Chain A
Amino acid sequence: MDKFLIGPFTKGLNRDIVPFLLPEDAFTRLTNMRIYQNRIIRKPAFTLLNDADPYGLKSRLKVLIGTTDAVTGNFPINPIVVGAVGAIGQQFSVGNAIFTVTQVNGAMDVTNGGGATGTFNTVTTGLSIIGATPNTSVYWYPCTPVRGFAYYEENEQEYAFDNQWAYGYTPEGWVALTPLADARWNSGIYDRFISTSYRGDFTSEATLFVANGTDPVKYYNNTVVDFTNFQPNTINPATSANYHVVSAKIVKRFENRLFLLNTVEDEGVTNNVAHSNRIRWSAAGDALNADAWYQPPGRQNRGSFADLSKGERITACEELNGRLVVFTENHIYEIIPTGNANSPFDIQEVSGSVGTFTSSVVQVNNSIIFVSPYGIHMYDGKNTIRIDDDLSNAFDNGIISFYNSSIWHHKTFNTVYISYSPAFGNEVQTAMLAYNYKNNTWSLFESVCTNFGDLFHNPAGVRYFSKSIIAGNQVGYVREFNSSVYKNGISQNIIRMNNFDAAHVDLTLYNHNLADGDVIRIENCDIAGINGGYLVEIIDVNTIRIESVINVAAYHGDAAILRVDRIDIRTKEFNPYLSKGYGVSLSKITFNVDRNDNNSSYSVIAFPNGSAVENDTLVSYPGSRLLETQAYDLINTVEATQVRIWHDVFLPSKSESISIGISMDNELIVDDAIPFQSLSINAMVLHTEPTMEF
């Protein structure tokens, strides 16, 4: 019997080479796992921001619309907010009581209401709550997609945005800023909120600027204490009226100046002139000064602008090595400081073959990683190279695509996350590539989010030692990337439950973005027996079906779902005797894994020659082919003290080449505990013998 050690793991996902020629530690599938410190570990979970908030009320965007009556607990209001748009699926909360809108106009389902009732008219947004807790804040949850995040460094305050409002992060959660009418945006599904904290010459001028490409740029500081439109004059109005910036797609701080890129401007008698290739900058120092943006020849040494020569739309920018790198759809430019007050910047084209269609650029270790229509690239200030060669086959074949992508840098993990929508027209990103730039490995995460941001404070308002990554989703949830947990937090409320037949239940979840075969858990429901894990069957974009015999007629809006991460690892096709022309007979695999005190099991299956069918050379396996990470009872006194353990999985197989799949079968994945345990595969040993020649 020959033994072959596979490890340490230095390669990740690779779809570029035929599987039997891959390096030994490469994978054709690495889903919801990643390569970290030369071992395979689980993808971190997205958890609620507050562990003590099981319904996620403090992890969702919400609008404070008033306070219940101090005596009766009633709350009538019409409309809830001027300009608000009502919809089925939205919710209200009064303390712990939750009211769910399930119809266009009528009674709402109530959870923890203590006898309270409520009605809501989605057309007029008229609300009436009767008998709730007196003198208690009433919150409205619009359940709209999270469109961006910002961080105001001066106050150390995080903000989130949906298509209408800005929300500040407080111990109560993400609460819309007031007055509501003023903090209003009208962003579209592809608009990104890009922000920059700009500190001018003086501390008092520290300001947060936010742009989304549709609305006017807005700014916020301790003087205005509200997001205020920023439409600076580009020419002194005394000399020429109506010359100002209407909006910009990108706002950026660079060289002590504020930059607005891809602008729309009023130019005298002509309004809303689009300059998608324009870079405009302010004077050095205070960008809020009235003349900070006056351009030559009317005013020298103040603001100015430049239009990129190719006329392409500016899509993104990032600072690198003292230069501002500007991306268009197919080009890359550098804005180079000259030190000349009259002509402060030079513009050079540095790449004429690749750019980006999205705002997906991020600076990583003196390079910029960006997503182009042709792949994922890195620009180091001199050269642009493609870094997704390992995935190029999948990219070229359209298996991976980059419509509407977001990119974010997780410095602690040396990882860049690139989330994307597999289909054009969908604002929700349902897949994510994780690129570990330290070991140059790729893996694939399944997640549903709209964009990323940073979180600097815990729920009590105490600053984190290092910032945490957060992601918003399509129904207003904001969850945190938690590397020590593997169970996702709830991500969407169930609007309705119906018994489809004796063995199936339909769940209404607006815009769920799930797929057939996904696994969810139902939580928080007080109908006995319904909480738990289920495989999903898609009925339509708003409805899924699960197998259950529970009668759900009494459902009243208290349940939510979380997505269960399905591990899917598929190794290369092994044959140590390939060069000699022999097939391979596999007797067993010995895995080295981190020991886990909680029982965790994974199915290990052998696939011959790339087949999707399991190789079973015997009538039946004598065991169940499970990899267990808990110490065996029989030798517990030995294993229970070990940090890492070696466990055998017997799966006799024989073929020209054999790939190994590690996953959780349908029985394991719906367990209450097994899918949420840690897993670290440190090495594998294949026990093989050569078989007959090909």
Chain B
Amino acid sequence: MSTLANIKDKVRKLTKNYSVTQLSDANLLSYINDFYLYDFPQIVETSDLRKNISFSTTPYVDTYSTTAGDFIYNLKDFKDFVIVTDQPVYLSGTQIQLFQDPAEFYQVYSSTKRQGTFGTGDGATTNFTGTLPPYILHNSVLIGGLNANGEALIAKDSPNVDAYGREASTGVMRDNDNDNIGNINYVTGAVDITFDVAPGNGNVVTYEYYQFNPTTPDGILLFDNKLTLRPVPDKVYEVKLQVRIQPTAFVNDADTPLIKQWWQFIAYGTAKKILEDRSDLETVNRIMPEYDRQKIMVMRKTRLNKSKDRTSTIFTHSQNVTDTWYYYG
């Protein structure tokens, strides 16, 4: 009784769109999923939508994209899938600090780029090779100089990414046109670049990059749909985040909501969207009382469970056992 088919029937009756000629099944399903995926999690903060997601770090790789890769499946479409990340993050069981402001993050983990000379141009040679001191932070290498006309020659690193979205230990060097002009090995530091135009005679070709000391990370930045760890991990760690997620979209008529009890509220919410699109505010007003009642019932379980929790303070979990007096925070 709580299936997608039931939801559809109820929506049709509430909106008086009894026939597919008035509202096609495809459009109706689109409305239902719009409400269920995007509106519902924002309207009701239910604990049933909380979930732990985790991923594994790659040695010497600090940044993890949330928009690509099957191996970091749980991070795919992170920006749409995850509603809230307001809970602690754990690295191999140890809580680490979660940052959402880059300014704050990089103030804590500030670093200065290492700079040096990569070579000197002679007006003819376009190929330059060398070895940079380890450890080279991905996406931080910049090698450049001037050609005979005084125009900039620039090469930036771009890590190779495997089919699963993982950054590899090698990468390519790209110029300003994003053309591949060389290679880099982040582990050995070997760099091989061939400029389109030779640096001018006597012009110095310089490099700069972030050098790091790999160790256990104790901070993580969530920004621009990426997760960045500091310090850079020296090995494989498990990172676990507790997030509030988006429900799974309905597909088949036999599908049910995550919690079956939600089906009526989903129907009312969907009906409200349809009626608003039709400018039928009169009917919206008529169904609002029941809509509100269903919303309260959806939230009731979460509220009842939370009502048993003590309000969290610094004393919530403290305990003094050194004296005959036992203090329990």
Contacts and interface: CB of A to CB of B under 8 A. Distances in A.
Interface of A: 1, 585, 587-588, 601, 622-626, 628, 632-635, 647-650, 652, 687, 689
Contact of A628 (B21, B23, B31, B280): B21
Given A623-B22, A623-B23, A623-B27, A652 B9 contact: no
A1 B22 contact: no
Contact of A1 (B20, B24, B27, B281): B281
Contacts of A650: 17, 22-23, 278
User: Residue among A625, A648, A689 with the most chain B CB within 10 A?
Assistant: A648
Given A587-B278, A634-B12, A622 B18 contact: no
Interface in B273-312: 274, 277-282
A132 B236 CA distance: 95
Contacts of B27: 622-623
B16 interface: yes
A634 B279 contact: no
Given A622-B23, A634-B9, A634-B12, A1 B279 contact: yes
Interface in B196-234: none
A585 B18 contact: no
A67 B282 CA distance: 77
A648 B278 CA distance: 12
B18 A634 contact: yes
B13 A634 contact: yes
B111 interface: no
17 contacts: A1-B280, A1-B281, A1-B282, A585-B279, A622-B24, A622-B28, A622-B277, A632-B18, A634-B18, A634-B19, A635-B13, A647-B19, A648-B16, A648-B22, A650-B22, A650-B23, A650-B278
Contacts of B281: 1
Contact of A624 (B18, B21, B279): B21
Nearest to B8: A634
Ranked 3 nearest A-B pairs via Cβ: A632-B18, A626-B21, A623-B22
Given A624-B24, A625-B21, 18 more contacts: A1-B282, A587-B278, A622-B27, A622-B277, A623-B21, A624-B20, A624-B21, A626-B19, A626-B22, A628-B21, A633-B18, A634-B9, A634-B13, A635-B13, A635-B18, A648-B22, A650-B23, A650-B278
B19 A632 contact: yes
Contacts of A624: 20-22, 24
Chain B contact patch, size range: 20 to 34
A268 to B, nearest CB: 78
B280 A587 contact: yes
Interface of B: 9, 12-13, 16-24, 27-28, 31, 274, 277-282
Contacts of B16: 648
B12 A623 contact: no
Nearest to A618: B277
A667 B281 CA distance: 34
Contacts, number: 60
A689 B278 CA distance: 11
Nearest to B12: A634
Nearest to A687: B280
Contacts of B21: 601, 623-626, 628
Contacts of A623: 17, 19-24, 27
B239 to A, nearest CB: 42
Contacts of A1: 279-282
Contacts of A625: 21
Contacts of A622: 22-24, 27-28, 31, 274, 277
Contacts of A628: 19, 21
A652 B277 CA distance: 9
Given A622-B23, A624-B24, A652 B279 contact: yes
A687 B279 CA distance: 10
Contacts of B23: 622-623, 650
Given A601-B21, A628-B19, A649-B22, A588 B9 contact: no
Contacts of B280: 1, 587-588, 687
B35 to A, nearest CB: 14
Nearest to A630: B19
Given A623-B23, A623-B27, A624-B24, A689 B18 contact: no
A520 B27 CA distance: 34
A587 B31 CA distance: 18
Nearest to A649: B22
Contacts of B282: 1
B164 to A, nearest CB: 37
A243 B9 CA distance: 88
A674 to B, nearest CB: 12
B19 A588 contact: no
A184 to B, nearest CB: 58
User: Residue among B18, B27, B281 with the most chain A CB within 10 A?
Assistant: B18
A647 B19 CA distance: 10
A503 B12 CA distance: 41
A689 B279 contact: yes
Nearest to B31: A622
Nearest to A586: B279
A628 B20 CA distance: 10
Contacts of A648: 16-17, 22
Contacts of A687: 280
A605 B252 CA distance: 32
Nearest to A620: B27
Nearest to B13: A634
A526 to B, nearest CB: 35
Nearest to A590: B16
Contacts of B278: 587-588, 650, 652
A587 B17 contact: no
Nearest to A650: B22
B18 to A, nearest CB: 4
A403 B31 CA distance: 57
B119 to A, nearest CB: 57
Contacts of A635: 13, 18
Contacts of B20: 623-624
A515 B27 CA distance: 38
A317 B230 CA distance: 108
User: Residue among A628, A632, A647 with the most chain B CB within 10 A?
Assistant: A632
B10 to A, nearest CB: 10
A685 to B, nearest CB: 13
A252 B20 CA distance: 61
A649 to B, nearest CB: 7
Contacts of B274: 622
Nearest to A646: B16
B147 to A, nearest CB: 51
A39 to B, nearest CB: 22
Contacts of B12: 634
Nearest to B24: A623
